[in-house]
Amino acid sequence: MAENNLTSFPKEKINILFLENINRAAATRFKDAGYNSVTMLPASLSAEELKKQLKNIHILGIRSKTHLTREILES
């Protein structure tokens, strides 16, 4: 990941969530780039739980079991 000190929002305030056992290297790369709030969960979430989680998430990493619907994204 290229080093970029200019973001539209402070890196330390950007919340990142990885679901479904995304490779730990992804979290490491973000942390090494200055993103402090990186959470990894081993499984997908229910639609309702995902809606709750997304209220505070800026970046979401998913695999094939997580389905993002319009309803989830607009919540």
Buried b (16+ CB within 10 A) or exposed e, 15-32: bbbbbbebeeeebeebee
Per domain, the residue ranges of the chain are: 11-74
The CATH number of 11-74 is 3.40.50.720
CA distance 10 to 45: 27
pLDDT digits (tens, 9 = 90+) for 27-63: 999 999 999 999 999 999 999 999 999 999 999 999 9
Spatial distance between the Cα atoms of 47 and 1, rounded to a whole number of angstroms: 31
Does the pTM surpass 0.75? The reply is: yes
